[in-house]
């Protein structure tokens, strides 16, 4: 287990968000990122502390060293944290002007349930991965 690189706050009932969590679990082989569903106590507290709606955030939140990073900058930071080829993917994402990439991200985030559906309850971690989740 590596030193934590940050906490990713995700929507535990969003199917797209759950797929993102699966992606993080698969590619963060060092186990540096922790995960907190926005429906849990830790996730709600982090959203609130960083000025995001606890009831319907339209942004991805990564908390690193006490700073909150949102939208595509947060995604790029996570990708860069994986190392290897993912650092290149992060650089390519950041090469797109933020004025273009963030509005596109927010549109998808606002319509995530219609586009990708939602679950009846929060995603539950598998026992071997439970230590990665804060709630």
Residue 29 pLDDT: 86
Spatial contact of 100 and 49, defined as CB atoms under 8 Å apart: no
Please state, in angstroms and rounded to a whole number, the distance separating the CA atoms of residues 16 and 118: 8
Residue 90 pLDDT: 97
Indicate whether 85 pLDDT > 60: yes
Indicate whether 68 pLDDT > 80: yes
- Give SS3 for 133: strand
Structure tokens at 5: 């690189």
73 contact partners, CB below 8 Å, separation of at least 6 = 94, 98
Distance (Å) of CA 77 to CA 2, 44, 52, 88: 17, 21, 19, 11
Max mean pLDDT range (11-20, 56-65, 80-89, 117-126):
80-89
Interstrand relation of 33-37 and 6-10 (parallel, antiparallel or unpaired) = parallel
Q: What is the pLDDT of residues 17-67, one digit of tens each?
A: 989 999 999 999 889 999 999 999 999 999 999 999 888 777 789 999 989
């Amino acid at each position: 287990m590596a030193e934590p690189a940050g906490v990713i706050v995700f929507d535990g009932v969003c199917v797209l968000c759950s797929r993102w969590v699966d992606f993080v679990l698969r590619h963060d082989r060092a186990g540096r990122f922790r995960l907190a569903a926005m429906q849990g106590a830790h996730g709600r507290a982090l959203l609130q502390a960083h000025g995001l709606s606890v009831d319907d955030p339209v942004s991805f939140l990564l908390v690193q060293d006490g700073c909150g990073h949102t939208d595509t900058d947060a995604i790029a930071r996570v990708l860069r944290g994986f190392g290897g080829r993912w650092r290149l993917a992060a650089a390519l994402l950041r090469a797109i002007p933020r004025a273009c990439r963030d509005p596109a991200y927010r549109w998808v985030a606002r319509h995530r349930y219609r586009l990708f559906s939602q679950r009846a309850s929060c995603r539950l971690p598998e026992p071997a991965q439970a230590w990665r989740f804060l709630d």
